[in-house]
Homo-oligomer: A and B are copies of this chain.
Amino acid sequence: MPTVIAVDAMGSDKAPKPEVEGAILATRHYDVRVLLVGREDKLREEMALHPAAARLPIEIVNATEVIGMDEKAASAVRSKRDSSMRVGLRLVREGTAAGFTTAGNTGAAMATAKMVLGALPGVDRPALAAVFPSSKGTATILVDVGANVDCKPQNLEQFAIMGEMYSRSIFNIPRPRVGLLSVGEEESKGNDLTKDAYPLLKRLPINFVGNVEGRDLYNGNADVIVCDGFIGNVALKVSEGLVEAVRFLLKESLKSTISSQVGFLLSKKAFADFKKRLDYAEYGGAPLLGLKGVCIVGHGSSNGTAIKNAIRVAAQFADSKINAKIEQEIANEKMAHAD
């Protein structure tokens, strides 16, 4: 039986083109059935451009409203009851689809998913996980980058459980090294939050490697790093900004060399490769962990391949039963420290 994935067909910057392409690629490559959720007329039109895809397991589910990239999450979620996000997530809640993916407004996706699917029992705050490429060719998962601000130590504890399970189930790391993002390696270094979270993480049945620092996001020293969502958001956006600045400054430096043309072309290619590695869309998007259901958030600039990858990750999430495992681990942890 193919895994059924609902896709927000109106999410990305160039929707619905990348979504339709991604659905075609995914249904050709993987054992999945795709429900494309969005304006039926537009989707029929776009599908008609791919006559060879007519026999692929792709269906259209109508949703009349679209949440824009710059809309405020809270009001969009409340007012647009027939948005492609909301309809797609409803398909997951009612069991028609095993997972959902969107390349739309991240804030709205998080808010809608929390409302429609709800959190897993025992999970106080679902969290968004992003993947960072390391200089060793490995990947490091950072949880939370979804702006869960003013976290409590217990939130970080749950982020650690969820991130560890993500690394094991999807990245197949047998015993992920889990670090706590702080300002020094010693247990005594950090702020009130990390100092209180440290003992909670230490007693978990995971491979906790203690405090890690900002630079460990990119050197492969940890497979999973947990932090308050304010910090995670800053880390993600500082990285995006720096990559842009590096591109600019490298270009500028290369202009001043003799063989500037050659150097520029070469580094342009190298840079495109690099950006691809940095972009979390290439990893198939960022999962929202801790929900009663699978929801993968891709980048607004997703192309067909990125959507295909997000569909694959959504199917992997559904097939791996990661949510049931997270629920179990969190219940175990609560039992172990019930007193």
> A: which residues have CB within 8 A of B?
133-135, 147, 149-150, 181-184, 190-192, 213-219, 227-231, 233-250, 253-254, 257, 259, 262-263, 266-267, 269-271, 273-274, 277
Contacts and interface: CB of A to CB of B under 8 A. Distances in A.
B237 A214 contact: yes
A286 to B, nearest CB: 15
16 contacts: A134-B245, A135-B247, A135-B249, A147-B183, A183-B229, A183-B234, A213-B234, A214-B233, A214-B237, A216-B241, A219-B245, A238-B239, A250-B271, A253-B270, A263-B263, A266-B266
How many protomers of this protein does the assembly include?
Answer: 2
B257 A277 contact: no
Given A150-B192, A241-B219, A250 B267 contact: yes
Chain A contact residues, majority secondary structure: helix
CB-CB nearest 10 A-B residue pairs: A214-B237, A215-B241, A263-B266, A253-B270, A149-B191, A135-B248, A218-B245, A214-B238, A218-B241, A135-B245
Contact of A263 (B230, B233, B267): B267
Contact of A217 (B135, B181, B238): B238
Nearest to A213: B237
Given A238-B215, A249-B274, A277-B249, A150 B191 contact: yes
A270 B133 CA distance: 22
Contacts of A183: 147, 149, 229-230, 233-234
Contacts of A248: 135
Contacts of A263: 262-263, 266-267, 270
A262 B253 contact: no
A135 B244 contact: yes
Contacts of A233: 183, 213-214
Contacts of A216: 241
A234 B231 contact: yes
A249 B247 CA distance: 13
Nearest to A255: B270
Contact of A254 (B259, B267, B277): B267
Given A253-B274, A267-B267, A190 B245 contact: no
Contacts of A257: 266, 269-270
Contact of A234 (B149, B214, B259, B271): B214
B240 A215 contact: yes
A242 B214 CA distance: 9
A213 B240 CA distance: 11
B191 A245 contact: no
B242 A239 contact: yes
A241 B259 CA distance: 29
A270 B135 CA distance: 19
B266 A259 contact: yes
